[in-house]
A and B are shown apart, each in its own frame.
Chain A
Amino acid sequence: MRSSVFVLAVSLISTACASGRAQEATAPTPAAPARASDTVKTGPMLGALSTPNDDPFPSTYRPFPSRTTVIRNVTIMTAAGPTIRNGSILLRDGKVAEVGASVSAPADALVIDGAGKYVTPGIIDTHSHVGAGGVPNDNGAQTNDVNEATAPVTAHVWVEHSVWPQDPQFPRTLAGGVTTIQVLPGSANLIGGRSATLKVVPSRTVQGMKFPGARYGLKMACGENPKRVYAQRGPSTRMGNVAGYRAAWIQAEGYRRKWDKWNGNRTGDAPARDLGLETLAEVLRGNILVHNHCYRADEMAQMLDIAKEFGYRIRSFHHGVEAYKVADLLAKEDVSASVWADWGGFKLEAADGVRGNPALLNRAGVRTIIHSDDASGEQRLNQEAAKAMAEGNRIGVPVTEEDAIRWLTINAAWALGLDDRTGSLQVGKNADVVLWSGNPFSVYTRAEKVWIDGSMMYDRLDPDQQWRTDFELGFVPVNRGDAR
């Protein structure tokens, strides 16, 4: 979706994400009851599943080998409280074991002096297409598997079946301090399919990257993209869009009733399975989280009403360039907002994008998230947050560094239903950790070391150990950095 200088206007119209910065669909954690931290309404909605196998493509991820590690004498932004100056953190057995002014370091621990450096939780991107929209993306490369733009409702597709683990964008994302991403289908469709939540690790298979126990998401999209893509066959208007969502949910309600009834008595033949309706029924049961691409404020309000009509919750509005206009509504409904710092203006529904969006949302109490929808931006989410923080401070809507780090970590973890496992540096959580060369909100700072589940997966200072995808061998010159 990126383009060389000046060809953007054209690519905007034709590509999956840029024009349609897509929105997503995720996958279910079917039978598991909702975690306490979830606000998704599950109780009254839970029913038996409509599928005999709720996890047909199970995660095979196992944490990479790790050693007990102490980072000392470092500034720690925990995303769970005030910044700790001159503190220490202990990573053991893949978890955050201790964090504070000092920790008990075992004799055999790897000790890293963090003088002048910063530690944060691993960055989480709620909106990625890496792997599904791979590179190179020249004509004929056929690496763009983001939009199943063959029908306005494609709830039956799962984006993990598009993910190419050898996409060279993955290691670059990791080098940006990003440890978890949600890969979403594109935004061509009203309902685009299921998302996949991945750890940014090398693997031969997508199953080896899937975040164990992560719930699926469902990608939905408002506004210009679906009506543009389906202008000929419909929907061709925004009212057509809304009729399309409602028709799909009506079908899903019927499907769910049929299956819940059958599950109740198990007599006679089971109803016929329908992949798309299975996914939608799982949303209605509260097992799949809805991620809704939506630019305009008025459309967000309509999507919230549709969710109420059918009894599901929207977990996050994505892109939301006008989210600041309904910040109070989003706060009241406890919907998170996944937004950019300053990407806007590329189409009319994005024309009211302002850099103050995150700050205004933050002030209103909305769970604010900086997302990317772009493999380049995904590497520098910390810089995006820095721009948005500076704008808040400029316009008199102050943002603290403690706020801004949450935009990149714990709030994103919440949107993915993973905030009990990752997204903050608290004892017992996964040791998904970044050591930054300086303050992460400085333009000069880069991620220096990145741990996932306690294993050091990236070290900028050790080019020989850096992950190179199969594609890169021979095609892409080795980059040994040689920067200062």
Chain B
Amino acid sequence: MNRSLSRTLVLLVATAPGVLALRAHAQTVAITGGRVHPVSGPVNENGTVLIRDGTIVAVGANVAIPADAQRIDATGKIVTPGLVNAATQLTLVEIGAVTGTRDAQARGRDGIAAAFRPWEGLNPTSVLISPARNAGVTTVLVAPSGGLISGQAGVIHLVSGTAAEMVLRAPVAMVAALGPARGPTGMPRAETIMRLREILDDARVYRTRRAEFERAQTRTLAAGRLDLEALLPVLDGRLPMLVQADKASDIEAAMKLATDYGFRLIILGGAEAWQIAGKLAAARIPVLTGAMNNIPESFVALGQRQENAGILSRAGVPVSVIGNAGGGDEEAFNVRNVRFEAGNAVAYGMEWNAALRSITLTPAETFGVADRVGSLAPGKMADVVIWSGDPLEFASQPERVFVRGREIRQPSRQDLLEERYKTVPPNYRKP
């Protein structure tokens, strides 16, 4: 495999870097013989995934394969859905220290940027897309950061295309943060909550008195027109609020707000969520959390532990495993490592199937895109990865990655550098 991959790279470089579809788009592909983990259904030891025109049409042990189908032998391999990383800034941040390549944080007003829709400025040519996609990640949530209300999150599909083509669904959540100390605004806890209440209250005022607002016949509202407008779907229960909170009491405060204002809540971070796992499960509140952080790095996360995801999962909380351990873990550069985070979750008590689900179907469900991605099921987009072995293991390689039924083999910038420096001094004319 080493050599063949290497040859593939050379070949691709020699021709033209870019997406190579297996064939033309209209076609039927059958991936056969592999151990298929549909996630939404039982494992097939010798399963087939049948794809037509970019859509999965059948998955299972006894799938009739049309004569004209292109067969891909996955014998001895593992076949899974494309992975979903539910907390990234991929395409929003290219190089963290280079200001002009950071598009994840709005200037906002007094920490409020509810109307900010970062995917409208996403970078479809980010060099960090290929490393993620080549590692089997085909869908990501991109979320803004900073402030009390950071803006809106969207789900991005890692197709090779324009910015517009990459947006799978947006918005999917309003992003906010609770808790002091690390709080973006420097407010004490209760003031943060008070401020959120004030803004949500005024969004209600705005909705009922919009005409007067337009004629400047209302008192001054707590946020600008665009931000208040953007919060209406939250109040309607149509757009969930993704609240970054780590301390158990901060999570409970978010739950109280959700109850009081009738919005759907998703917890991001949730370092101490394990302490209230039963409550979160009963309320069916999804949690996005990592599995590699056990450091009491802040007074808001003193109870942080690697067992968090497993405890939540066993309690019935919909858990999406994300990278949040520092060390570059959460940076766009390492969106690819989410499978190892899930592997660590298993090492700390999460059931393996739950771990795979936590980086595929669960985040897809949490953000309302499970009708299209997140599992191998008829009718869904054919995002499929063929792995050399256990996808959560370091030694396993994603050998082939399909997005919407198209195989994408685009060498990353890192691949090109490695290839160039396999011999030194390098030949600066290739790759």
Interface pair A355/B414, CB less than 8 Å apart: yes
A475 to B184, CA, bound (A): 24
Asked whether any CB of chain B lies closer than 8 Å to the CB of A390, the reply is yes
**Known contacts being A4-B182, A325-B424, is A443 close to B340, with CB within 8 Å?**
yes
Interface pair B296/A135, CB less than 8 Å apart: yes
Within 8 A of A (CB), among B293-343: 293-303, 305-307, 310, 322, 324-334, 337, 340, 343
Asked whether any CB of chain A lies closer than 8 Å to the CB of B6, the reply is yes
A352 to B417, CA, bound (A): 7
Task: Write the nearest CB–CB distance from A395 to chain B, whole angstroms.
Answer: 5
Contacts of A18 in B (CB 8 A): 326
Which A residue sits closest to B182, measured CB to CB? A4
Within 8 A of B (CB), among A315-358: 324-328, 340, 342-348, 351-356
A364 to B184, CA, bound (A): 46
Among A8, A344, A396, the residue within 8 A (CB) of B3 is A396
Interface pair A443/B393, CB less than 8 Å apart: yes
Task: Write the nearest CB–CB distance from A439 to chain B, whole angstroms.
Answer: 9
Interface pair B96/A397, CB less than 8 Å apart: no
A387 to B336, CA, bound (A): 12
Interface pair B296/A476, CB less than 8 Å apart: yes
Interface pair A482/B97, CB less than 8 Å apart: no
Asked whether any CB of chain B lies closer than 8 Å to the CB of A136, the reply is yes
Q: Count contacts on B: residues with CB < 8 A to the other chain.
A: 81
Contacts of A351 in B (CB 8 A): 95
Interface pair B326/A9, CB less than 8 Å apart: no
Within 8 A of A (CB), among B103-135: 104-105, 128
Interface pair B295/A2, CB less than 8 Å apart: yes
* Interface-located stretch among B345-353, B379-387, B401-409: B345-353
A204 to B414, CA, bound (A): 46
Contacts of B343 in A (CB 8 A): 443-444
* Interface-located stretch among A49-57, A69-77, A190-198, A369-377: A369-377
Contacts of A325 in B (CB 8 A): 421, 424, 426
Task: Write the nearest CB–CB distance from B98 to chain A, whole angstroms.
Answer: 6
**Known contacts being A19-B97, A351-B95, A375-B295, is A5 close to B268, with CB within 8 Å?**
yes
Among A168, A343, A379, the residue within 8 A (CB) of B296 is A168
A137 to B300, CA, bound (A): 11
Which A residue sits closest to B9, measured CB to CB? A395
Which A residue sits closest to B303, measured CB to CB? A477
Asked whether any CB of chain A lies closer than 8 Å to the CB of B269, the reply is yes
Asked whether any CB of chain A lies closer than 8 Å to the CB of B219, the reply is no
**Known contacts being A5-B244, A383-B394, is A326 close to B424, with CB within 8 Å?**
yes
Asked whether any CB of chain A lies closer than 8 Å to the CB of B145, the reply is yes
A356 to B293, CA, bound (A): 25
Interface pair B104/A376, CB less than 8 Å apart: no
A354 to B420, CA, bound (A): 12
Within 8 A of B (CB), among A1-45: 1-10, 12-13, 18-19
Asked whether any CB of chain B lies closer than 8 Å to the CB of A483, the reply is yes
Which A residue sits closest to B143, measured CB to CB? A6
**Known contacts being A5-B269, A354-B417, A398-B2, is A376 close to B95, with CB within 8 Å?**
no
Within 8 A of A (CB), among B165-197: 181-182, 184
Task: Write the nearest CB–CB distance from B14 to chain A, whole angstroms.
Answer: 17
Asked whether any CB of chain B lies closer than 8 Å to the CB of A199, the reply is no
A471 to B95, CA, bound (A): 36
Asked whether any CB of chain A lies closer than 8 Å to the CB of B27, the reply is no
Asked whether any CB of chain B lies closer than 8 Å to the CB of A233, the reply is no
Asked whether any CB of chain A lies closer than 8 Å to the CB of B227, the reply is no
Among B95, B300, B419, the residue within 8 A (CB) of A347 is B95
0/1 string, A305-319, CB within 8 A of B gives 1:
000000000000000
Asked whether any CB of chain A lies closer than 8 Å to the CB of B93, the reply is yes
Which B residue sits closest to A475, measured CB to CB? B302
0/1 string, B391-404, CB within 8 A of A gives 1:
01111110000000
**Known contacts being A168-B296, A477-B302, is A9 close to B93, with CB within 8 Å?**
yes
Within 8 A of A (CB), among B19-59: none
A411 to B101, CA, bound (A): 37
Which B residue sits closest to A382, measured CB to CB? B394
Contacts of B415 in A (CB 8 A): 395
Which B residue sits closest to A137, measured CB to CB? B297
Which A residue sits closest to B5, measured CB to CB? A394
Interface pair B329/A6, CB less than 8 Å apart: no
Interface pair B102/A360, CB less than 8 Å apart: no
Task: Write the nearest CB–CB distance from A206 to chain B, whole angstroms.
Answer: 20
Interface pair A2/B97, CB less than 8 Å apart: no
Asked whether any CB of chain A lies closer than 8 Å to the CB of B236, the reply is no
Task: Write the nearest CB–CB distance from B20 to chain A, whole angstroms.
Answer: 19
Contacts of A4 in B (CB 8 A): 182, 244, 246, 269, 271, 298, 301, 324
Interface pair B293/A396, CB less than 8 Å apart: no
Interface pair B97/A136, CB less than 8 Å apart: no
A13 to B329, CA, bound (A): 17
Which A residue sits closest to B245, measured CB to CB? A4
Interface pair B302/A346, CB less than 8 Å apart: no
Contacts of A13 in B (CB 8 A): 96-97
Contacts of B331 in A (CB 8 A): 8, 345-346
Interface pair A483/B326, CB less than 8 Å apart: no
**Known contacts being A346-B97, A376-B326, is A136 close to B307, with CB within 8 Å?**
no
Contacts of B255 in A (CB 8 A): none
A390 to B398, CA, bound (A): 12
Interface pair B394/A386, CB less than 8 Å apart: yes
A472 to B296, CA, bound (A): 9
Interface pair A395/B87, CB less than 8 Å apart: no
Contacts of A326 in B (CB 8 A): 424
Among A7, A139, A376, A395, the residue within 8 A (CB) of B6 is A395
Asked whether any CB of chain A lies closer than 8 Å to the CB of B344, the reply is yes
Asked whether any CB of chain A lies closer than 8 Å to the CB of B292, the reply is yes
A1 to B96, CA, bound (A): 14
Count chain A CB atoms within 10 A of each CB in B295, B301, B307, B347 and give the residue with the most. B295
Within 8 A of B (CB), among A122-172: 135-139, 168-169, 172
0/1 string, B262-278, CB within 8 A of A gives 1:
00000011010001000
A372 to B326, CA, bound (A): 11
Asked whether any CB of chain A lies closer than 8 Å to the CB of B422, the reply is yes
A335 to B331, CA, bound (A): 30
Contacts of A1 in B (CB 8 A): 326
Which A residue sits closest to B347, measured CB to CB? A444
Task: Write the nearest CB–CB distance from B80 to chain A, whole angstroms.
Answer: 16
Which B residue sits closest to A384, measured CB to CB? B327
A254 to B340, CA, bound (A): 53
Asked whether any CB of chain B lies closer than 8 Å to the CB of A446, the reply is yes
Asked whether any CB of chain A lies closer than 8 Å to the CB of B371, the reply is no
Asked whether any CB of chain B lies closer than 8 Å to the CB of A205, the reply is no
Contacts of B303 in A (CB 8 A): 476-477
Asked whether any CB of chain B lies closer than 8 Å to the CB of A380, the reply is yes
Interface pair A360/B95, CB less than 8 Å apart: no
Asked whether any CB of chain A lies closer than 8 Å to the CB of B418, the reply is yes
Asked whether any CB of chain A lies closer than 8 Å to the CB of B89, the reply is yes
Task: Write the nearest CB–CB distance from A201 to chain B, whole angstroms.
Answer: 19
**Known contacts being A4-B244, A443-B343, A476-B303, is A396 close to B5, with CB within 8 Å?**
yes
**Known contacts being A4-B269, A4-B301, A138-B298, is A481 close to B324, with CB within 8 Å?**
no
Can you list 17 A-B contacts with CB-CB less than 8 angstroms, sorted by A residue number? Answer: A2-B326, A4-B271, A9-B104, A18-B326, A136-B302, A137-B298, A342-B337, A345-B333, A347-B98, A354-B414, A375-B295, A375-B326, A376-B327, A380-B344, A443-B392, A446-B347, A483-B348
Given contacts A327-B421, A356-B414, 19 further A-B contacts (CB under 8 A): A4-B301, A5-B244, A5-B268, A9-B96, A9-B105, A13-B96, A136-B296, A136-B298, A136-B299, A324-B421, A325-B424, A343-B333, A353-B333, A353-B414, A377-B327, A383-B344, A395-B418, A476-B303, A483-B349
User: 7 closest A-B pairs (Cβ-Cβ)?
Assistant: A2-B326, A443-B343, A347-B97, A6-B145, A345-B333, A483-B349, A386-B394
- What residues of chain B have their CB less than 8 Å away from a CB belonging to chain A? 1-3, 5-6, 87, 89, 93-98, 102, 104-105, 128, 143, 145-146, 181-182, 184, 244, 246, 268-269, 271, 275, 288, 292-303, 305-307, 310, 322, 324-334, 337, 340, 343-344, 346-349, 392-397, 414-415, 417-419, 421-422, 424, 426
